[in-house]
Amino acid sequence: MKKMLLAIGVITLLIAFAVTGCRIGKEEKHKFTEDRIEEVGEDIWADLSKAKVGVCIYRFSDNYMTLFRREIESYLVGLGFTKENIMIVDSADSEVVQDRQVRAFIDQGVDALIINPVDPSDVSDITNLAVEADIPLIYINREPEAEEEVRWEDNKWDVSYVGCDARQSGTIQGKIIADLGIENIDLNGDGVIQYIIVEGDPGNADTLYRSEYCIKALDDAGLQSECVFKGYADWEREKAEELVSEALKGGVEAEVIFCNNDAMALGTLSAIEKAGMRAGKDIQIVGVDALTDVLIAVQEGQIAGTVFNNYIQQSHSAVDALITYLSNETNPHYIGCDYVAVTPSNVQTIIESLAR
């Protein structure tokens, strides 16, 4: 499996090089401002070390986005970009900060932008800034509203989104729980699964759809369920621990805890342990992302499962898409990626494939 993944990675890299090289060979016109052409010459894409990329990440302290941004950087470097031309900044969960960063990148003459939006429901200003400056833009991970994506399509702008369908991750979470068998979940024997949902941030598509579709999957499996507690922990481990600890202290009794991501599943696990309960026996926890600590907890039986949110494929797709735009070719405006269920039966394979 590891070898197969490695082989796929190398082939993808070779194709990316080959495609980029042959487009450059055609001496196509690129989208540069006069200043940029004067600075680096017209054949910038023959030498990617001269290309400048600006990347905004909504919050550096987010565990999953840390894996994502590191992979973007190493993939860009592998393709020939130089470290000093890859500018990755922390938007500190502030729209104002992110807006300022995008303007600064444009003033500095970046050739392409990758944005993980702070507020995915309101990215039109960022899109407009990039389009006006004629700079290709790839949004990642936090999906803008459907009507915004329609605008890119209608205007044939060089703007795309790279991410996964959050509904799929919720469905997989529900199936992981349903597959445990009602006899192993419904410990109070009332025929109903009492559950808690620990949510990400409000209004985010991942939060909304993961919470909705994990329960829909229980319904589809013919299992009755009841929400006994729900709260936001903003994707953060500490906040999740606090939230779940408070709920348990307040007398909430649950059989399953659905966590919108793994960082919060780890916080939930700590809360369960501190409350003197046995995770994986007295209560089932499920997350999303496949963070290393969660994979270990799945292996050890404390966490029922997680959903691999493939940051490697997504970061490579984002970079490949921006190179395609820069080569004056088109991309789909939505570039997807599949989630993968992780349970005790395949966790070892996932651990090995990620240990590169």
Closer to ligand GAL at the Cβ: 306 or 324?
A: 306
Distance, CA of 26 to CA of 20 (rounded, Å): 10
Identify the residue among 71, 158, 199, 206 touching ligand GAL (CB under 6 A).
206
Distance, CA of 279 to CA of 321 (rounded, Å): 42
Segment contacting ligand GAL by CB under 6 A, of 43-51, 57-65, 175-183, 323-331: 57-65
Closer to ligand GAL at the Cβ: 65 or 185?
A: 65
C-beta of residue 350 within 8 angstroms of C-beta of residue 295: yes
Q: If DSSP codes are grouped into helix, strand and coil, which group holds residue 253?
A: coil
Closer to ligand GAL at the Cβ: 195 or 235?
A: 235
- Residue 327: how many CA atoms within 13 Å on its side-chain side? 24
Segment contacting ligand GAL by CB under 6 A, of 61-69, 78-86, 122-130, 224-232: 61-69
Q: How far is the CB of 129 from ligand GAL (least distance, A)?
A: 22
**DSSP annotation string for 165-227:** -HHHHHHHHHHHHHTT-HHHH-TT-SSEEEEEEEE-STT-HHHHHHHHHHHHHHHHTT-EEEE
Closer to ligand GAL at the Cβ: 196 or 266?
A: 266
197 forms beta bridges with 230, 258
Identify the residue among 20, 98, 127, 141 touching ligand GAL (CB under 6 A).
141
Closer to ligand GAL at the Cβ: 30 or 142?
A: 142
Distance, CA of 167 to CA of 171 (rounded, Å): 6
Q: If DSSP codes are grouped into helix, strand and coil, which group holds residue 55?
A: strand
| Site residues (CB under 6 A) for ligand GAL, limited to 173-202 | 200
x/- string (CB under 6 A) for ligand GAL, residues 251-290?
----------x-x------------------------xx-
| Site residues (CB under 6 A) for ligand GAL, limited to 225-244 | 235
Q: If DSSP codes are grouped into helix, strand and coil, which group holds residue 2?
A: helix
Decide if residue 65 touches ligand GAL (CB under 6 A).
Answer: yes
Identify the residue among 62, 111, 149, 165 touching ligand GAL (CB under 6 A).
62
Segment contacting ligand GAL by CB under 6 A, of 58-66, 77-85, 128-136, 326-334: 58-66
| Site residues (CB under 6 A) for ligand GAL, limited to 288-347 | 288-289, 309
Decide if residue 56 touches ligand GAL (CB under 6 A).
Answer: no
Angle, vertex CA 60, rays to CA 138 and CA 304, nearest 5 = 95
Region label for 141, one of left (φ > 0), alpha (ψ between -120 and 50) or beta (otherwise): left
Q: How far is the CB of 293 from ligand GAL (least distance, A)?
A: 13
Pairing between β-strand 334-335 and β-strand 256-259 as defined by DSSP bridges? unpaired
| Site residues (CB under 6 A) for ligand GAL, limited to 106-125 | none
Pairing between β-strand 306-308 and β-strand 340-342 as defined by DSSP bridges? antiparallel
Q: How far is the CB of 163 from ligand GAL (least distance, A)?
A: 7
Identify the residue among 16, 50, 57, 64 touching ligand GAL (CB under 6 A).
64
Q: What residues contact residue 341 under an 8 Å CB cut-off, 6+ apart?
A: 172, 175, 176, 305, 307, 308
Q: How far is the CB of 264 from ligand GAL (least distance, A)?
A: 8
C-beta of residue 91 within 8 angstroms of C-beta of residue 97: yes
Decide if residue 209 touches ligand GAL (CB under 6 A).
Answer: no
Segment contacting ligand GAL by CB under 6 A, of 62-70, 103-111, 151-159, 175-183: 62-70
State the amino acid at position 80 in one-letter form: G
**Residue ranges that bind ligand GAL, judged by CB under 6 A:** 62, 64-65, 141-142, 200, 204, 206, 235, 261, 263, 288-289, 309
